[in-house]
Amino acid sequence: MPAPDAGAREISARLSEVIVAQIAASDGWMPFDRYMQLALYAPELGYYSAGLPVFGAGGDFVTAPELGSLFARTLARQSAAVLESLGGGDILEFGGGSGALAAELLAECSRCAAPLERYRILEVSAHLRARQRAAIAARAPQWLDRVEWLDTWPTAPWRGVALGNEVLDAMPVRCFSLAQGAVFERGVAVDGGGFEGAGFAWDERPASPAFAAAVRGALDRDPAAYPDGYLGELNEQYPGWLSGLAACFGRGVAVLIDYGDARAGRYHPARSGGSLRAYYRQRVHENPFWYPGLCDLTADVDFSAVATAAASAGFDVAGFTPQAQLLLGGGLEAVFAQAWAEANDTRAQLRLAQEVKRLTLPDEMGERFRAIALTRGAVAPPPGFALRDLRDRL
């Protein structure tokens, strides 16, 4: 992989010192979710808070909105349909990233005269807020005075559409392994032979009764049915996060899009290596301890657990479908035709064709990414969920 520059290495070294100190204060062992929290979100040092480039071709990974305009424009039309049914309302986006989704979505809302009152972005990173503001100012400046950035959940009940694209996968996870039916928790210890004398390594210990019970509850079969050495991850943040959303969501639809699967696929015995991975400069690797703070860390979403937590929080699970069907059933063909007609040259048309392939083909994002619709009140999910309904798999 490309070597980080001196400034990035300095940020990583400072973050490593913070993690080493916390491990020492915890008797030499840290649960992985705590390590992941620090690696991604430690103030001024974590991956999403240090101000280093992370999105797009010049960063570490490319999300659907950064491929072009088609993803956002299709979501905008589906959001507009929901807002029409509600008599108007807001859109709340979780983690606005580079601002590409917000900018293109707002521009399309203008085209289709969506009854959108406010666009709100729940974003805690100051430097990402600045990028989002710049993107909206460049692409949809007429909306800028109706965009609001939030540090936490809205304080008053609201109605509309909540959008989360690749948000759930960025939540810290706890890691486990299975052997002869027993559950072990995989934590982090200091390895003095690692990066600049402050490296980290996996350290397993028998799981606490509570964590072992949580793992057993997440799996769709007895742990003894899994091969020895089976690795997996458990996200314990879904219930709290969805309860926070439900507490302020009066009426509308939440659409969450991410890579993952229902429980049976997410924890299939054949997936013995787990799904935890790191991204750096468009490369994926399996060492979460390589230059802490410089790599994105992520794990697949368990949509069955999301559905269970959502129902407990008071949502109705109104749809579950692959991303391809969400887009194709939600107007992608019409959006593509319009964009094709507006394209300036053959090269622009070729980019549009490539974008559609990336978004919809099964071996690209089409099947790898799933979308779940959660509703509050008597409101129908967006039209993209009508083409293929996989809720029976949840």
Report pLDDT digits (tens) over 24-48. 999 999 999 999 999 999 999 999 9
Say whether both 140 and 258 belong to one domain.
Answer: yes
Residue 159 lies in a domain: no
Note whether 355 and 378 are same-domain residues.
yes
Give me the percent of the chain exceeding a pLDDT of 70: 97
> 79 near 89, Cβ under 8 Å?
no
> pLDDT band for position 124 (50/70/90)?
confident
Residue 17 within a domain: yes
208 plus 347 within the same structural domain? no
Kindly state whether residues 131 and 233 are assigned to the same domain.
Answer: no
Tell me whether residue 158 is in a domain: no
**Residue 233 pLDDT grade (very low, low, confident, very high; cuts 50, 70, 90):** very high
Place of tokens 């003894």: 224
Considering the domain architecture, whether residues 181 and 289 belong to the same structural domain is answered as yes
pLDDT tops 70 at residue 385? yes
**Which pLDDT belongs to residue 264?**
95
CA-to-CA distance for 221 and 230, rounded, in angstroms? 13
With respect to residue 128, please indicate whether it lies within any of the assigned structural domains. Answer: yes
CA distances (Å), origin 228, targets 182, 212, 215: 9, 16, 15
**Any idea what the CATH number is for the domain that residue 75 is in?**
3.40.50.12710
Tell me, what's the pLDDT at 193? 57
Q: Is residue 63 part of a domain?
A: no
Cα 212 to Cα 31, 222, 333, distances in angstroms: 14, 12, 47
Can you give the length of the chain in residues?
Answer: 394
Judge if 258 and 276 occupy the same domain: no
- The encoded tokens of residue 7 equal 């400034």
Task: Evaluate whether residue 256 is within a structural domain.
Answer: yes
Q: At 111, which amino acid appears?
A: R
Contact status, residue 373 vs residue 320, Cβ threshold 8 Å: yes
Residue 31 falls inside a structural domain: yes
Q: For residue 75, what pLDDT is reported?
A: 98
pLDDT value at position 216?
97
> For residue 55, what are the β-bridge partners?
61
Give start and end residues of each alpha helix (H) in the chain: 6-25, 32-41, 64-67, 70-86, 100-111, 126-139, 209-218, 238-248, 263-266, 303-313, 323-328, 332-342, 346-360
Strand pairing partners for 232? 176
Q: What are phi and psi of 173, to 5 degrees?
A: -125, 155
Specify the pLDDT at position 154. Answer: 95
What does the pLDDT look like over 48-98, one tens digit per residue? Answer: 988 887 776 667 678 999 999 999 999 999 999 999 999 999 999 999 999
Q: Which of 206, 241, 276, 259 lies closest to 33, judged by CA?
A: 276
Degrees, nearest 5: CA angle 51-91-46: 20
Is 157 a member of any domain?
Answer: no
Calculate the average pLDDT of the chain: 94
pLDDT digits (tens, 9 = 90+) for 289-300: 999 999 999 999
Is the Cα torsion angle 287, 61, 280, 124 positive or negative in sign? negative
Q: Are residues 200 and 343 in the same domain?
A: no
**One domain, residues 77 and 134:** yes
pLDDT attached to residue 16: 95
pLDDT, residue 57, reads 65
> How does pLDDT run across 160-218, given as a tens digit for each residue?
999 999 999 999 999 999 999 999 999 999 986 554 445 899 999 999 999 999 999 99
DSSP β-ladder status, 89-94 and 301-302:
unpaired
| Percent residues over pLDDT 90 in the chain | 91
Same domain, residue pair 293 and 333: no
Shared-domain flag, residues 277 and 198? yes
- Give this prediction's pTM: 0.95
Same domain, 187 and 318: no
Question: How many structural domains compose the chain?
Answer: 2
Q: Are 92 and 232 within one domain?
A: no
pLDDT tens sequence across 274-331: 999 999 988 999 999 999 999 999 999 999 999 999 999 999 999 999 999 999 999 9
Domain range for 292 is 6-58+171-238+265-298
- The C-alpha R_g of the chain, in whole angstroms, comes to 21
